[in-house]
């Protein structure tokens, strides 16, 4: 478990280094997840210890939302002042997600029909 956790943290560290070195707007952990994805795709399998560690982390995923919830409560005045743009962003991103997902599913489903 310690080796797999170290591998995950190394991917995150590499992502942080890339994000800061190139001044990217993408967070380092997201870049690290992309790096991990590429590594796993190249291996064409997930190592057993990495899978067990990931399942252990995911089983306690709800704990990772506690800091975000505390941050929201700590900044309630800002949320109260900026509620209109926040609601607009939430609605807009939801609509955009539904539209892109629908379009993508239609494209993928169309590809299935062509194969038969």
pLDDT at 9 over 70: yes
Q: How far apart are CA 36 and CA 50, in angstroms?
A: 11
Kindly report, residue by residue over 40-54, the tens digit of the pLDDT. 999 999 999 999 999
Per-residue confidence (pLDDT) for residue 71, from 0 to 100 = 86
Q: Helix 48-59 and helix 2-21: axis angle, to 10°?
A: 80
**Which long-range contacts does 70-78 make (Cβ < 8 Å, 24+ apart)?**
none
Kindly report, residue by residue over 34-89, the tens digit of the pLDDT. 999 999 999 999 999 999 999 999 999 888 888 888 988 988 998 899 999 999 99
Stated pTM of the model: 0.60
Q: How confident is the model at residue 114 (pLDDT cuts 50, 70, 90)?
A: low
What residue ranges do the domains of the chain occupy?
A: 1-59, 66-116
CB contact at 8 A, 25 and 71: no
């Amino acid at each position: 478990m310690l080796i797999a956790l170290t591998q995950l943290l190394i991917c995150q560290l590499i992502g942080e280094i890339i994000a800061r070195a190139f001044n990217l707007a993408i967070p380092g952990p997201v870049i690290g997840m992309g790096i991990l994805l590429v590594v796993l795709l190249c291996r064409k399998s997930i190592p057993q210890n990495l899978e067990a560690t990931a399942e252990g982390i995911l089983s306690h995923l709800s704990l990772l939302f506690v800091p975000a919830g505390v941050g929201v409560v700590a900044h309630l005045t800002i949320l109260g002042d900026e509620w209109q743009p926040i609601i607009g962003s939430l609605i807009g991103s939801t609509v955009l997600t539904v539209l892109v997902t629908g379009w993508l599913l239609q494209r993928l489903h169309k590809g299935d029909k062509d194969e038969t």
